[in-house]
């Protein structure tokens, strides 16, 4: 009995859990509890599913899944399963350099330093590219020093000093400068949807103008940069020869200029235009614009009963019973006279605060259909940046030295790592 007591007292301090199987079982239990907790938190509430692709260190594609819903405290939640997105090689090179020795500018008499790519990647990529172009010579010096000291930097240096890399870098910078305002607008937590839609239109026009009339000036700018940094410029009239690993049949008897203009310049801009059109087609724009009729800012200035009824009937018809659209209009008529003058519902900054205010004042009980419609609008993923907002942790868990992690184990790791808040709450409840 005495031995048993001693063992039980010392067991917690002696337990090291070095067995991989035990570690995986514990991780599975925790991740399973996290998933169950999220399911319980959602309950019978409506939720939106956002899906994107993800790529791990071993180049395997994964599905990134985000659940967006309104919880019991009337807060918008986004639960993520995976969020590492495929990035262009030039950005990856720029990011690695930005995270390396140039961060402190060591050994160089330079005022600026390359900027680190942050978790919200749209804005930071533009900063990283602009910084890399500004400090191009300094970057080459650092890579040369690393290579001379035995470091594996020759490949990065050769890529950096190639015409194609410089061409691509300038193209990405120019495109990102055009789309920058739209990207910033879409990443704001409190979004001005009407102005964002106007930015979609102006961004599309600017990209088309750049596509149709920007080639000559762009090529001159790239050539000038190459001359300033002693980078070889290919003969644009020569026949293009595909590098090893690329399909040669497509590039038969085309000039170097044709390759850069058609296969890179025009193809990249066309892809951006197609993405804008697919994400913001007429159907989507109408949905977003109609939803602004519920925006409480500026004393419900945008409030329009007809637009709100059209929103419910056209886009959320399956969420309302046959007679409920008629009742919704009546609720809205009372809402228009009552809510804007309610002392506790003044100076609201967004639809989410309106939803919280209706619950707090119990107006959600009197106007359940309006409350239902507002919650449906709240889970609408109005920002195309939603899957980019989470800090990318795929490469933290699955590294080059640890690139054989099986899928189930990786998913459990990601679930626990991403949903730290849920894990901490579980730990508090258990204790």
Average pLDDT over residues 345-350: 81
Same domain, 274 and 329: no
Q: Which of 91-95, 226-230, 251-255 is the least confident region?
A: 91-95
User: Residue 354 sits in which domain range?
Assistant: 283-378
Question: For a pLDDT cut of 70, what percent of the chain falls above it?
Answer: 66
Q: Which of 111-125, 153-167, 357-371 is the least confident region?
A: 111-125
pLDDT, position 28: 80
pLDDT tens for 255-297 read 999 999 999 999 999 999 998 888 888 888 888 888 888 888 8
Domain-located, residue 60: no
pLDDT, position 308: 92
Same domain, 327 and 204: no
Average pLDDT over residues 245-257: 66
- pTM of the prediction? 0.62
Is 422:42 a contact under the CB 8 Å cutoff?
Answer: no
Among 280, 301, 331, the domain-final residue is: 280
Mean pLDDT of the chain: 74
Among 280, 304, 326, the domain-final residue is: 280
Same domain, 218 and 366: no
Domain-located, residue 92: no
- Provide CB contacts within 8 A for 280, sequence distance 6+: 197, 200
Same domain, 262 and 330: no
Is 114:102 a contact under the CB 8 Å cutoff?
Answer: yes
- The larger pLDDT score, comparing residue 397 to residue 407, is at 407
Same domain, 260 and 327: no
pLDDT, position 198: 85
Highest mean pLDDT among 102-106, 139-143, 149-153: 139-143
Domain-located, residue 124: yes
- The larger pLDDT score, comparing residue 413 to residue 375, is at 375
pLDDT, position 421: 73
Same domain, 190 and 321: no
Is 70 exceeded by the pLDDT of residue 352?
Answer: yes
**CA torsion through residues 170, 172, 173, 174, sign:** positive
Same domain, 186 and 301: no
Among 378, 396, 411, the domain-final residue is: 378
pLDDT classification of 244: cutoffs 50, 70, 90: low
Q: Which of 109-118, 160-169, 287-296 is the least confident region?
A: 109-118
Same domain, 300 and 227: no
Q: Which of 145, 160, 148 is nearest to 92 (CA)?
A: 160
Identify the bridge partners of residue 79 per DSSP, sorted by sequence position. Answer: 67
Number of domains comprising the chain: 2
Q: What is the largest CA-CA distance in the chain?
A: 91
Domain-located, residue 23: no
Same domain, 179 and 147: yes
Is 60 exceeded by the pLDDT of residue 8?
Answer: no
Highest mean pLDDT among 87-101, 254-268, 291-305: 254-268
308-321-372 Cα angle (round to 5): 50
pLDDT tens for 177-213 read 999 888 888 776 555 677 788 888 899 999 999 999 9
Tokens of 150: 């035995």
Domain-located, residue 67: no
Average pLDDT over residues 407-416: 72
Is 60 exceeded by the pLDDT of residue 85?
Answer: no
pLDDT, position 385: 42
Is 70 exceeded by the pLDDT of residue 15?
Answer: no
Domain-located, residue 427: no
pLDDT tens for 22-49 read 777 877 877 788 778 777 777 777 777 7
Domain-located, residue 374: yes
Same domain, 176 and 216: yes
Is 60 exceeded by the pLDDT of residue 411?
Answer: yes
Same domain, 300 and 322: yes
pLDDT, position 224: 93
Tokens of 84: 């590492």
Domain-located, residue 181: yes
Is 70 exceeded by the pLDDT of residue 2?
Answer: no
pLDDT, position 227: 92
Same domain, 300 and 241: no
């Amino acid at each position: 009995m005495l031995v048993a007591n001693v063992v039980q007292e010392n067991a917690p301090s002696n337990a090291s859990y070095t067995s991989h199987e035990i570690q995986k079982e514990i991780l599975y239990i925790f991740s399973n509890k996290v998933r169950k907790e999220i399911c319980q938190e959602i309950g019978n509430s409506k939720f939106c599913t956002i899906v994107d692709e993800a790529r791990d260190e071993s180049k395997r594609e994964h599905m990134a899944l985000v659940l967006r819903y309104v919880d019991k405290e009337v807060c918008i939640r986004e639960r993520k399963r995976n969020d590492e997105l495929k990035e262009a090689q030039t950005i990856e090179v720029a990011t690695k350099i930005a995270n390396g020795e140039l961060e402190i500018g060591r050994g160089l008499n330079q005022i600026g330093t390359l900027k680190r790519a942050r978790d919200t990647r749209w804005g930071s990529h533009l900063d990283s590219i602009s910084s890399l172009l500004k400090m191009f010579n300094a970057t080459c010096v650092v890579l040369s020093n690393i290579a001379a000291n035995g470091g594996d930097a020759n490949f990065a240096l050769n890529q950096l000093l190639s015409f194609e890399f410089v061409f691509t870098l300038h193209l990405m910078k120019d495109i990102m400068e055009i789309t920058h305002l739209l990207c910033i607008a879409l990443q704001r937590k409190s979004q001005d949807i009407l102005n964002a839609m106007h930015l979609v239109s102006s961004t599309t026009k600017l990209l088309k103008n750049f596509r149709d009339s920007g080639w000559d000036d762009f090529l001159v700018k790239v050539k000038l940069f190459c001359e300033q940094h002693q980078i070889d410029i290919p003969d644009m009239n020569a026949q293009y020869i595909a590098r090893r690993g690329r399909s040669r049949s497509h590039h038969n008897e085309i000039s170097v200029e044709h390759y850069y203009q058609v296969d890179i310049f025009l193809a990249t801009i066309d892809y951006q235009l197609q993405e804008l059109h697919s994400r913001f087609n007429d159907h989507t724009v109408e949905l977003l614009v109609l939803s602004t009729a519920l925006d409480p800012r500026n004393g419900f200035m945008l409030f329009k009963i007809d637009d709100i009824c059209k929103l419910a009937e056209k886009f959320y018809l399956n969420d309302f019973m046959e007679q409920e659209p008629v009742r919704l209009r009546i609720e809205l008529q009372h809402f228009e006279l009552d809510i804007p003058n309610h002392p506790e519902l003044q100076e609201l900054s967004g639809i989410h605060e309106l939803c919280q205010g209706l619950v707090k004042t119990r107006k959600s009980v009197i106007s359940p259909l309006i409350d239902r419609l507002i919650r449906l609008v709240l889970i609408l993923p109005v920002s195309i940046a939603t899957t980019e907002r989470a800090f990318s942790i795929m490469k933290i868990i699955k590294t080059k030295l640890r690139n054989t992690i099986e899928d189930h184990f990786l998913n459990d790791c990601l679930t626990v790592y991403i949903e730290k808040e849920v894990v901490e709450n579980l730990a508090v409840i258990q204790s």
